[in-house]
Amino acid sequence: MSGGSNGPMAFIKSRARMYDPEKDEKVTFKDVAGAEEEKEDLEEVVDFLKNPKKYKDLGAKIPRGILMVGPPGTGKTLLARAVAGESNVPFFSISGSEFVEMFVGVGAARVRDLFKEAKEHAPSIIFIDEVDAIGKKRSPGIGGGHDEREQTLNQILTEMDGFDNETNVIILAATNRADVLDKALLRPGRFDRKVTIRLPHMEDRVKIFEVHSKNKPLDKDVDLRKIAAATVGFSGADIGNLLNEAAILAGRENVKLITHAILQKAFEKIAIGSTKKSHVLTRRERETTAYHEVGHAIVGKMLPNTDPVYKISMIPRGSTGGVTWFLPEKDTTYISKAKFLDQIAMGYGGRVAEEVFFGKENITTGASSDIENATEIARAMIMKYGFDDELGPENFASATLEGNHLGAEGGGKIFSEKTQEKIDEKVREILKKGYEKAREIIVKNKDLHEKITRHLLEVEELTQDEFDAFFEGMEGVPVKTIG
């Protein structure tokens, strides 16, 4: 959209970018891979814009604000543009942070200008990305920046309240933090409709890989389904980044096709960091790392509720000396108490291995993040998920669990000192049992542990198949497959 003149009035002009369906490249739902349920929810918005009379004749009041909630990179902006494309209407796009300036009143003026322009081009869509930048819960504050944000928010609410059934403008807003939004934004007549944009599941990831790989020369050995199975938790943007990284790696290796091995390298680089070949470990550090990582892998392998081992590596990556990488067998929505307990035991596998093979006096700091993670899981089990029989299904957590900061939002304890002591006691009990479970498995499989570790010291990395081969013929070993 035009930025207006270069005079003083340009400062208060809206910075929104306008996409004209007659002039700009049109995006439709066909351009959005996966997200079938989300597209189905947004089809209703398309119908509002295409057939407003149908709803007016029925006496229905068309929703004016639709809040799109989801993690970064899940395609909220693309979906919003697709709604405009399907509706064949102009699309005004702006980030919440672009409204606010250090000068009081500029944000509100930009809101007025944006809504004025959208009405002039009605039917149309206004898309506000990162709406939480201006729509956070209001509280007493000091400084002009706070006043400016509040004035901007108030102007948006005023504009939305001024809509009537003849105003064919719909506002889509996106955020990954719906919990921090001011309640006034969510009142009826404002953003009272919510569409949740989730991370893509397995089949959606396959479709996204297919879309992003269209312009890339893939070798015939590439199995996109296998890579999609490994990328649980990846957003659409993450997948696009992975394929771009693979193309860059192929270029650096001077090959004309992207092979499956190159895709795996790109995946590992993004997920756990680049290898640090210049970081040379001493002989003792190499041995400690190998025993530590195999400890995680063996405990994880022998427990029924942990994910399969994807790779064991003693090559330094990022800030770690080594890594044992577990990947889910499938996409899951919930985590059971049994899985949490097994994750804690698996997390202690590295520390226990150091103690069993090198003695208590020679344990290292290598388990610090494992201990931190185990403690966070145990504390969440008691405080957030109500997994303790004695304390009961009660939530003791504040808005976030950060170490020992257990006060309610706004300050002050939300439970007694006696309850705090009981929580700490229960957390220690869970952690102790997890450590003992890990120790039992390590001691019972000490010879096998030694054998796998010696092989790892020779080859430096083990894949899932190479690791699983050590367990062939053993009874009582859970069978696990990725994807």
- What six digits make up the tokens of 34? 């996966």
Sign of CA dihedral 45, 46, 51, 52: positive
According to DSSP, the β-strands at 461-463 and 309-313 are: antiparallel
Please answer whether residues 27 and 75 qualify as being in contact, where contact means their C-beta atoms are separated by less than 8 angstroms: no
What is the spatial distance between Cα 355 and Cα 362, in angstroms, rounded to a whole number?
Answer: 7
What is the spatial distance between Cα 54 and Cα 132, in angstroms, rounded to a whole number?
Answer: 33
Beta bridge partners of 65: 171
Left, alpha or beta for 200 (phi > 0: left; psi -120 to 50: alpha)? beta
What is the spatial distance between Cα 374 and Cα 347, in angstroms, rounded to a whole number?
Answer: 6
- What six digits make up the tokens of 11? 């400062």
Q: What angle do CA 261, 264, 265 make, to 5 degrees?
A: 90
22 is catalytic: no
Nearest CA to 127 out of 85, 91, 78 is that of: 91
Nearest CA to 66 out of 168, 185, 235 is that of: 185
Exposure on the CB side of residue 407, measured as CA atoms within 13 A: 6
User: What is the SS3 assignment for 166-214?
Assistant: CCCEEEEEEECCHHHECHHHHCCCCCCEEEECCCCCHHHHHHHHHHHCC
Q: Kindly name the residue from 38, 293, 354, 355 that is annotated as catalytic.
A: 293
Element (H, E) at 66: strand 65-69
According to DSSP, the β-strands at 65-69 and 91-95 are: unpaired
Residues ≥6 apart with Cβ < 8 Å to 350: 292, 293, 295, 296, 324, 366, 367, 370
Give Cα 162 distance to the centre of its chain: 36
Exposure on the CB side of residue 177, measured as CA atoms within 13 A: 13
Based on the number of CB atoms within 10 Å of its own CB, is 355 exposed (0-12), middle (13-18) or buried (19 or more)?
buried
Give Cα 229 distance to the centre of its chain: 16
Please answer whether residues 416 and 422 qualify as being in contact, where contact means their C-beta atoms are separated by less than 8 angstroms: no
Q: What angle do CA 90, 93, 95 make, to 5 degrees?
A: 170
* Positions marked active-site: 293
